[in-house]
Amino acid sequence: MEKFIINGGVPLNGELTPSGNKNAALPLLAACLLTSEPVILHNVPDILDTQTMIKLLQSLNVKIDQLNPTSFRFDASEIRPADLDPDLCRQIRASILLAGPLISRVGELTLPPPGGDIIGRRRVDTHCLAFARLGVKTDYYDNLFHFDSKALRGGDILLDEASVTATENAIMASVLAEGVSTIRNAASEPHIQELCQFLNLLGAHIRNIGSNTLEITGVEALGGGEYTIGPDYLEVVSFIGAAVVTGGAIRIKNAGVKHLDMIHLVMNRLGVDWVTQDDDIIVPQNQKLVIEPDLGNAIPEISVMPWPAFPTDLMSIAIVIATQSKGSILFHDWMYPSRMFFTDKLVGMGAQIVLCDPHRCIVQGPTQLSGERLESPDIRAGMALLIAALSAKGKSVIRNVSQIDRGYQQVDLKLKKLGADITRVNE
């Protein structure tokens, strides 16, 4: 097991380029199963989650050639049903994304339950309900999912929640289904838009990309192609947060600014601002860091909602920024009942946070954080604790950094380049 040792209080300065979007890379890797022709993906982030997905693809007899550290060639012309490694499936939530492509290509699949972050119950029912509308039979016994379909047929799919992974699975199952499929109450995050653009590049017919109602006309087969994954907006905002709480100034190149309007609006409420120059983001020094109250000087609330509203994956980062902003603010994440549980570690560092219930907390700032021994509980909370440690006075130790490595490529090296005093060591 590895850990980070951080001596905080050092302003971050300089420039960096974010890695490819983790949440786009995982469904795109799964989507390579949909075609028997070669596919090349560029800007695949070199993180633990993508490494695990690549191992799962290899177990299905996909030929994979690494062209450079972040580019791969995939050949799924001879895929075969296989008993997927339960340990690998438990490592990532995205293992469920193999269902849609494999049902489309080979008509059946036995899948161990997916894993991922421990942030509360994460249903797979929506996936099964979507598959049923396309003619897929789903059984669950012996702690395994069994999917079977003799022939996929287009259907009207109304998702009972705007689930990102269920939307992605429904898209991938529909592109080769006979006839027309409509997916209503679809999620529309940037990574879903990328999946649709990638599949259209291969010959799929997906319309209304970016909306919550997708129309898909099935095709007999998809071709090959080459695609470059866009920047990870969650990493971009994480580094904005790190610069702000340390009093630094950074430039983020190729930041994908078109997806950040709502996030920018919410961050303004915490006293955080940045400027754009083409597709770069410039975070200036001496941020205001004053919480903007609601009308009548009421305590404001930041609540997560489906895209294009503020995403749940940035809630932990926003909470850390709020500990360094003047004023009071309520955070509300109704999606996951364990998202807020990392806040006790911030309290141990000196933050003034009241955990109202599993879904809500109130932050009063600013407070000087102090170095502490910490444990990374999940990807986003782990990154939030790392940002807190960069802001803190004194030395912090963060254990279980493999959780952070699941979603952030070489985060310690990127931070070092910006001047952070951070060291990775083996325990």
pTM, two decimals, is: 0.93
User: Can the peptide bond before residue 293 be classed as cis, meaning omega within 30 degrees of 0?
Assistant: no
CB 192 within 8 Å of CB 165: no
Give me 408's structure tokens.
């952030």
CB 156 within 8 Å of CB 133: yes
Long-range contacts of 104-107 (CB under 8 A, 24+ apart): 104/34, 104/152, 104/172, 104/173, 104/175, 104/176, 104/177, 105/33, 105/34, 105/76, 105/79, 105/176, 106/79, 106/80, 106/81, 107/148, 107/149, 107/150, 107/151
Residues sharing a CB contact under 8 Å with residue 393, sequence separation 6 or more, in sequence order: 8, 9, 368, 369, 370, 371
Residues with a known catalytic role? 117
Give 143's pLDDT tier (boundaries 50, 70, 90).
confident
Residue 151 has a pLDDT of 87
CB 37 within 8 Å of CB 105: no
Q: What is the mean pLDDT of the chain?
A: 94
Res 52 pLDDT > 80: yes
Residue 123 has a pLDDT of 66
Residue 114 has a pLDDT of 77
Residue 52 belongs to what H/E stretch? Answer: helix 48-59
For range 185-213, the mean pLDDT: 97
User: Can the peptide bond before residue 81 be classed as cis, meaning omega within 30 degrees of 0?
Assistant: no
Identify the structural domains of the chain with CATH numbers, from first to last: 2-19+231-426 (3.65.10.10), 22-228 (3.65.10.10)
